[in-house]
Chain A
Amino acid sequence: QKEVEQNSGPLSVPEGAIASLNCTYSDRGSQSFFWYRQYSGKSPELIMFIYSNGDKEDGRFTAQLNKASQYVSLLIRDSQPSDSATYLCAVNIPIGGTSYGKLTFGQGTILTVHP
């Protein structure tokens, strides 16, 4: 089982719709969870992070975390063509018995928002 898995894409939604992106992780010790957006040929850009169970909203973006189910999701409301990109889920997994961690990324989900 991969440490971080994302729902297979690509995902295509019409402009104005809600896009739903999902991610599961295997390490129950994971402490923090991130969503990055990556445009083609560019580097990843942090758009959301969440630490606690429940929902976190930022503008059109909502991150949802369920630690019991080891599941994190990202909802994009009122999707725009400019949201078309690859979305990467990343999980902070502690390194060994240390107090520090590193981000482990999923393979990404390609989102296309068509007018």
Chain B
Amino acid sequence: DIVMTQSPLSLPVTPGEPASISCRSSRSLLHSNGNNYMDWYLHKPGQSPQLLIYLASNRASGVPDRFSGSGSGTDFTLNISRVEAGDVGVYYCMQSLGPPQTFGQGTRVEIK
């Protein structure tokens, strides 16, 4: 199975400041079709998870452009350009290259 390793696991942030979460996979997520099969999800307290980024760098519908994804192969990053109070929750990376699909451990983002 592909193992997904996120860092940091806890991220205190200041509103208005940028934030960054890294995710490393144990195997390349780059498919021969040129796509990197990496998603990012945000799980806010008391809510269902929501898709933020798919195929490593594509923002999902309705996601603010403050969120961006980058990376290829085994190293990926989720960036938030200016954190807002409503961005708190647990962020997960998930690889979908092949079954089983696997999530990272999650990064808990909280306001300082």
Q: Do A and B bind each other?
A: no
Task: List residues of A whose CB falls within 8 A of some B CB.
Answer: none
Task: List residues of B whose CB falls within 8 A of some A CB.
Answer: none
